[in-house]
Amino acid sequence: MIEGILGKKIGMTEYFLDNGNAVVATVIEAGPCFVIQKKTTEKDGYEAVQIGFLEVKPQRVNKPMLGHFKKAGVAPLRHIAEFAAGGDEYNPGDEIKADVFEEGEIVDVVGTSKGKGFAGVMKRHHFSGQPASHGGMAHRRAGGIGSATYPARVWKGQRMAGHLGNERVTMQGLTVFKVDAERNLIVIKGSVPGPNGGLVTIKRTSKGGRTSAAA
């Protein structure tokens, strides 16, 4: 069984559990993905499959990649990723749909967070700020960033103002509420990184275990 699949975030909604409680959920278009290349232990030293997602015009793909897709017998694809998969279950040209996951399964979702540009320390690192009255002029400033004669430098990792967002984020331990194999849709508990329409990776959790949809 393949470890994961590529998808596109559709948006957020409410999902009603069997006990009537409403919880926040995210709808993801998971696939269809197509197998482009198969890695084997004999040739590559490990077992995996390379898959692609979202068809793209041939004019937008360079010649080496066009040949790569043609060899696999699939149309040019925009996004490519590699996932662990053993055995002879998948071969180049095979289609992988959302039904590789089951309802109640635990997954990790990886995406790129929304970029928010340059942000100060209160927004970026949740600093509490400095006195807002009594003549103070440093309301939202960070304050001191160093020490004294020693170490006479700024510590590595010092929290300061800077670019916020637009980075790879992983949400772990999310429950799959529903799988619609016909429309390649997966409903997942909670939120996932990125904007609507953003590329996400759904993979079996690294934490292990399963749970019911009512969890």
Give me the tens of pLDDT residue by residue for the chain, a chain 215 residues long. 889 999 999 999 999 998 999 999 999 999 899 999 999 898 989 999 999 999 999 999 999 999 999 999 999 999 999 999 877 788 899 999 999 999 999 999 999 999 999 999 999 999 999 999 888 889 999 999 888 888 889 999 999 999 999 999 999 999 999 999 999 999 999 999 999 999 999 999 877 665 554 44
Burial class of residue 23, CB neighbours in 10 A (0-12, 13-18, 19+): middle
Query: How far is Cα of residue 76 from the mean position of the Cα atoms in its chain?
Result: 22
Chain length of the chain: 215
Q: Is 191 helix (H, G, I), strand (E, B) or coil?
A: coil
Dig out the tokens for 115 from the structure.
Answer: 């970029």
> What is the rounded distance in angstroms from the CA atom of residue 72 to the CA atom of residue 49?
12
Q: Residue 210 has what pLDDT?
A: 58
- Neighbouring C-beta atoms of residue 180, cutoff 10 Å: 15
Instruction: Give buried/exposed letters for 102-120 (b at 16+ CB in 10 A, else e).
Output: eebbbbbbbbbeeeeeeeb
Per domain, the residue ranges of the chain are 32-96
Query: How far is Cα of residue 64 from the mean position of the Cα atoms in its chain?
Result: 27
State which fold the 32-96 domain adopts.
Double Stranded RNA Binding Domain (3.30.160)
Q: Residue 207 has what pLDDT?
A: 76
Pair 86, 168: CB distance under 8 Å: no
pTM for this entry: 0.84
- Neighbouring C-beta atoms of residue 84, cutoff 10 Å: 15
Closest CA to 173 of 197, 126, 207: 207
Q: Residue 214 has what pLDDT?
A: 46
What sections of 55-126 are H helices per DSSP? 63-72, 121-124
Pair 92, 73: CB distance under 8 Å: yes
